[in-house]
Amino acid sequence: MLCSAILSRIRKKLNDPNATAWTDNSDLIPALNEALQALISYRPDAASFTTMMLLVAGTRQTLPSDGVRLLKVIRNRGQSGLSDAGRAIRKADMLVQDALIPDWHETTGQTVVDEYFYDSITPKDFYVYPPAPVSPIIGIDISYVRVLPTITADTDAFPVDDYFASAIQEWMLYLLWGGDDKQNQNYADARSHLSTFFQLLQIKASSDGAVNPKSKG
């Protein structure tokens, strides 16, 4: 689906199907980009991507350059990431690991990863145990949140699954009707669209005050 489909629906909701009042996309496209960022803040899985990743030697690993945050380490993929029958990798508690094996970062590297450790404070980094060896290079499957492309034209592809299109539209309408400006005559309509956004994503709004998706973890 192209972004033009979303913008067309928005214009109909704004009672402007012929682009009479909203004559160009200078307001609509920024609203679309902001809606996408709000979506990812509340539902990071909307931008999830699963891929094979080759490990660097040692315990500390970093997501690919387009990564925002790790979602899950899934399984081993063997030497050079060529195996399709690797052992599952479980998530573990680093504090427990530190207490039980204080020198675990210095353990001699092995070719199978048993555990991984992740802290959202450093969302692009995670640790594996046993440490990955220098040679051979081994691979694992991971799932992570990718950076969404910035929409610049209505001919751009809609960058998330079509399932989220309705929620995106509701956030856009929330913004275009004035957002959290209580002095705006359309404030009630804006808040109604915001409420529908949360309902569609099955998320409970934390308060009736201003919403700032950038504050989400």
Q: Which pLDDT score is estimated for 215?
A: 43
Residue 6 has pLDDT above 60, yes or no: yes
Determine the residue type at 100.
L
Please say whether the dihedral angle defined by the alpha carbons of residues 96, 98, 99 and 100, taken in this order, is positive or negative: positive
- CA-derived radius of gyration, the chain: 22
- The Cα–Cα gap between 100 and 106 comes to 14
pLDDT tens digits for range 124-182: 999 999 999 999 999 999 999 999 999 999 999 999 999 999 999 999 999 988 766 66
Helices (H), 24-164: 28-42, 94-100
Residue 123 has pLDDT above 50, yes or no: yes
Give the mean model confidence (pLDDT) for residues 24-34.
90
- The answer to whether 105 touches 153, Cβ cutoff 8 Å, is no
Residue 17 has pLDDT above 80, yes or no: no
- The answer to whether 67 touches 124, Cβ cutoff 8 Å, is yes
pLDDT tens digits for range 203-215: 865 544 445 554 4
Q: Which pLDDT score is estimated for 210?
A: 46
Q: Which pLDDT score is estimated for 181?
A: 65
Q: Which pLDDT score is estimated for 12?
A: 87
User: Which residue do the tokens 């504090």 mark?
Assistant: 95
Q: Which pLDDT score is estimated for 213?
A: 52
Q: Which pLDDT score is estimated for 167?
A: 96
Q: Taking the complete model, does pTM exceed 0.85, yes or no?
A: no
Report the chain's mean pLDDT, rounded to a whole number.
Answer: 89
pLDDT tens digits for range 85-98: 899 999 999 999 99
- The Cα–Cα gap between 50 and 151 comes to 23
- Helices then strands (H, E): number in the chain? 5, 7
